[in-house]
Amino acid sequence: MSSVYSWSVRGKESDVWTYQWDKSINPQEAITYAIQPVDDGLDIVCAGPPFSGALAKHVGRLPYPSTRIVSSYTFRFGSNIKYGQVVEFDRKFTDAHGWTYNGSTQWNIAQGWEFQIGNWTNTGIFGEFVQDAWNAVEIEQALDYTAHTLTFVSVAVNGIKSTPINQAPIPATQEGWDINQIVLQAQLCTGEKGGAYGVRFVGIGDSGTA
């Protein structure tokens, strides 16, 4: 009888997040990129000229080389979202041999909240998000440690799942990062008119099975 190894890590919004910016992250640095833990989550505010941004970074351990990983977060935004270009939430998984699997995703506000993956490939999936309310996102990924690829399996918004995501597997790379990690990057970027907008995140976590 075979057994399934499973694990779950939740509440990452309460951990340490660090500010990161260079031109590879965003050509234009935000004037303000505030990362503030609050009682019910993690507040991030981005302000600056058009298409300016930065990111908040969190580094944690990948407990087990799972072939299926479900990543989740819940977020809330107000009317100032009109000044935003994206709500980006990247995940990079590193294995024991130095391979980095790109689980980067973003919701492109300017494209009607289209879900984009990898190096911002359009999926034709659009998020039905509600202003001034909590919106739950759950993303399932399949990792192949032999072929060194990551495939997006599904995305669910407020319990409504879109599957399959009809995109090719994303090749892993060897980037010189540390091994057995989950690297999270929450990135905001202003829209074509610039301005300021904020997002509050809760329920940031990952779970995996063999």
All residues at 6 or more sequence positions from 41 whose CB lies less than 8 Å from its CB, including other chains? 13, 76, 200, 201, 202
- Please give the pLDDT value at position 2: 53
Rounded Cα distance, 204 and 15, in Å: 10
Q: Pairing state of beta strands 160-162 and 32-38? A: unpaired
The verdict on residue 85 lying in a domain is yes
In which band, very low, low, confident or very high, does the pLDDT at 1 lie, cut at 50, 70 and 90?
very low
Q: DSSP code of 178?
A: P
- What is the mean pLDDT of the segment spanning 136-141? 98
- Please give the pLDDT value at position 210: 79
DSSP output for 190-206: E-TT-EEEEEEEEEEEE
> Among residues of the chain, what percentage have pLDDT more than 90?
93
- CATH at 38: 2.60.120
- Total domains, the chain: 1
Task: List, for residues 115-126, the tens digit of each pLDDT value.
Answer: 999 989 999 999
- What is the mean pLDDT of the segment spanning 29-44? 96
Q: Are 78 and 132 in contact (CB under 8 A)?
A: yes
Residue with tokens 């992250």: 25
The verdict on residue 194 lying in a domain is yes
Q: Are 162 and 156 in contact (CB under 8 A)?
A: yes
The verdict on residue 132 lying in a domain is yes
The verdict on residue 1 lying in a domain is no
Domain that holds residue 36: 6-46+55-209
- What is the mean pLDDT of the segment spanning 191-204? 98
* Mean pLDDT value across the chain: 96
What's the pTM value of the predicted model, to 2 decimals? Answer: 0.95
